[in-house]
A = this chain, B = another copy of it.
Amino acid sequence: MAEEREAISMASSLPPPPQVPMELHAENRSKLIRSLREHLTSSSRPLKGFGGEEKTRYCTDHVELFRQESYFAYLFGVKEPGFYGAIDISNGKSILFAPRLPADYAVWLGEIKQLSYFKEMYMVNMVCYTDEIVEVLRTHHGGSEKPLLFLLYGLNTDSNNFSKPAELKEMEKFETDLSTLHPILTECRIIKSDLELSLIQYANDISSEAHVEVMRKTRAGMKEYQLESIFLHHIYMYGGCRHCSYTCICATGENSSILHYGHAAAPNDRTLKDGDMALLDMGAEYNFYGSDITCSFPVNGKFTSDQRLIYYAVLKAHDAVISAMKPGVSWLDMHKLAERTILESLKIGGIIIGDVDDMMVERIGAVFMPHGLGHFLGIDTHDPGGYTKEMERPKEPGLRSLRTIRELQEGMVITVEPGCYFIDALLVPAMENPNTSKFFCHKEIARFKSFGGVRIESDVHVTSNGAENLTKCPRETWEIEAVMAGASWPLLDKSSIH
């Protein structure tokens, strides 16, 4: 019967998932070495990063699927758990330390690979076992004094967690420096190389396509999680992406005003209704590099005039920001540009009243968009480096949610994700507050009580003289309506639909 089986059709126009060149991570190491050398005066200093370990769930033997720690992934690209890594700043040589696996690993978990396999695979100068770290680092050092190790320790300004420095058994045999490495390595990660960009582009391509696939299949009566399932299937089946950059947010109706919907206590389990807006924030990760994309569209495939009003308020902000982006521009200014653009549209739509400058002073923009305009994107969805030690986080509503306030630089990848939401917890107090009540057209706003919200999020690469949008989803309402009615994407003949 085997001969009767038909080939299955591939529902993707993209080429198969790319091979990832390990030069990418070698380049990352070189960049770090250059940065450190600029910063330091003396020579011959090995430095150490460390990789993550597999974890079991609570007390059980349930092993969560391992995903490498991001700084370690940046430098070494190692997929396997339990590794350590070191780079000698004086000569640029890199060493990986692999766990020594027990003999029965071969029975339960697979081939025990030779050290030479890892040396070739990850393009490092030397691979030893983790139980040899102290000896190797001391021998390698050569000198008579204690070798100086730069360990990774520092604040993640998104989580307010500190990275955990590597722990060695005989730490007293080394001098350690916990402050130098983190800010320099973080700074390296902010500017993406061409090889990094191509992975972020790939993650964007497969995710954009998956978003289109979800739009096409969305119907009233479905569950939100079914949209998540379609997305996950598309990026894995056709894109080889086993991980997402973050838990999918599949918010419809009122839920679309819950900014981080989709977690275990709000698990994408609502039934879609005719007339709902859907706000889907989902992004694939490929070889550690991620994407972060939000599409908003009407569940039934056709925008109402109210939906169109809010949608275009956000889309105009999205487009205005991308048009204004270039090196030297302040991200704080971009956030304010988005706010102002949204407020102007809402004013034209009769939802708010009064002078937009006055609204800006009173932070009315933050009532409708309480989150920041965007964040760095890379190996982490919220890639680090948004604030250096010297930068102070703004205190005003909206602005204080910004994950960075830096000036844009060529090579940054940052999300542009304006949104406009009707959130009772913010709207009600603002409409009751005597200072701000006057700006709101209470009657109009009542109509949006269960509207939820709209967010449009693209991943944008800052170029030498502007910005390039890496995300390729339908954005105009007529594009969305055409795709949801079955048109191919990109649209073949715009004139016939427009």
Interface residues of A (CB under 8 A from B): 1-2, 4-5, 7-8, 52, 54, 56-70, 79-81, 103-104, 106-111, 156, 158-159, 161-164, 217, 219, 223, 225-226, 228-230, 232-233, 236-237, 240, 242, 246-247, 255, 258-261, 263-267, 269, 298, 300-302, 370, 380-382, 384, 423-426, 481-482, 484-486
Inter-chain contact B58/A70, CB cutoff 8 Å: yes
Find out whether the CB atom of B159 lies under 8 angstroms from the CB atom of A1: no
B60 and A219 within 8 A (CB): no
Partner of A79, one of B1, B265, B425: B265
> In the complex, what's the smallest C-beta–C-beta distance from A88 to chain B, in angstroms?
25
Query: A5, A68, A382 — which one has the most chain B CB atoms within 10 A of its CB?
Result: A5
With A107-B423, A108-B258 known as contacts, the answer to whether A4 contacts B61 (CB < 8 A) is no
Contact of A261 among B52, B110, B267 (CB under 8 A): B110
CA distance in complex: A230, B234 (Å): 10
A381 to B62 CA separation, bound complex (whole angstroms): 8
Given A4-B486, A79-B267, A109-B258, CB of A61 within 8 Å of CB of B219: no
Give the shortest distance, in Å, between A2 (CB) and chain B (any CB).
Answer: 4
Q: How far, in angstroms, from A325 to B198 measured CA to CA in the complex?
A: 57
Alpha-carbon distance A104/B259, docked complex (angstroms): 11
- Across the interface, do A159 and B61 meet the contact criterion of CB distance under 8 Å? yes
Q: Is the CB of A58 within 8 A of B69?
A: yes
Q: How many copies, total?
A: 2
Contacts of A265 in B (CB 8 A): 66, 79-81, 109-110
Tell me the minimal C-beta distance from A231 to chain B in angstroms. Answer: 10
A465–B426 Cα distance when bound, in Å, is 62
Query: What chain B residues lie within 8 Å of A423 (beta carbons)?
Result: 106-107
Asked if B2 contacts A301 (CB within 8 A), the reply is: yes
Instruction: Tell me if A264 and B67 are in contact (CB < 8 A).
Output: yes
Cβ contacts under 8 Å, A60 to chain B: 70, 156, 158-159, 161, 380, 382, 384
The 13 listed contacts between A and B (C-beta, < 8 Å) are: A1-B485, A2-B298, A2-B300, A5-B485, A60-B159, A61-B158, A64-B64, A79-B267, A80-B265, A108-B259, A109-B263, A226-B236, A233-B237
Residues of B within 8 A of A380 (CB): 60, 62
Whether A242 contacts B267 by the Cβ 8 Å rule is yes
Closest residue of B by beta carbon distance from A257: B107
- Cβ contact of A110, chosen from B109, B229, B258, B382, cutoff 8 A: B258
In angstroms, Cα B52 to Cα A63, docked, is: 16
> Looking at A79, A162, A164, A242, which has the most chain B CB atoms within 10 Å of its CB?
A242
Known: A4-B486, A107-B423, A225-B240. 9 other contacts (CB 8 A): A5-B484, A54-B264, A64-B64, A80-B264, A107-B258, A109-B258, A109-B263, A226-B236, A229-B237
Report chain B residues within 8 Å CB of A62. Answer: 246, 380-382
Tell whether, in the assembled complex, residue B108 and residue A66 are in contact, meaning their CB atoms are under 8 Å apart.
no
List the 7 shortest-distance A-B pairs measured between CB atoms, nearest first. Answer: A61-B159, A1-B485, A233-B233, A2-B302, A66-B264, A229-B236, A59-B163
Give the complex CA separation of A258 and B302 in angstroms: 51
Q: Of B63, B69, B104, B424, which contacts A263 at CB under 8 A? A: B63
A381 to B63, CA, bound (A): 11
Closest partner residue, chain B, to A55 (CB atom): B55
A67→B59 contact, CB < 8 A: no
Q: Is A52 within 8 A of B58, CB to CB?
A: yes
Chain B residues with CB under 8 A of A264: 54, 65-68, 79-81
Q: Quick check: B301 and A1 within 8 Å, CB to CB?
A: yes
In this complex, what residue of B is CB-closest to A239?
A: B229
Which of A58, A65, A68, A242 gathers the greatest number of chain B CB atoms within 10 Å?
Answer: A58
Closest CB of chain B to A258's CB: distance in Å?
Answer: 5
- Which residues of the partner chain B approach A237 to less than 8 Å between Cβ atoms? 226, 229-230, 233
Q: Note all chain B residues with C-beta closer than 8 A to A261.
A: 109-110
Instruction: Considering the complex, give the chain B residue whose CB is closest to the CB of A159.
Output: B61
- A258 contact set on B, CB distance < 8 A: 107-111
In the complex, the chain B residue whose C-beta lies closest to that of A478 is B1
A241 to chain B, nearest CB (A): 9
Residues from chain B with a CB closer than 8 A to the CB of A242 are: 225, 267
Chain B residues contacting A484 (CB-CB under 8 Å) are 1-2, 5
Q: Which residues on the B side are within 8 Å of A298 (C-beta)?
A: 2
B58 with A164: CB separation less than 8 A: yes
Q: Given contacts A52-B58, A66-B263, A66-B264, is CB(A232)–CB(B223) below 8 Å?
A: no
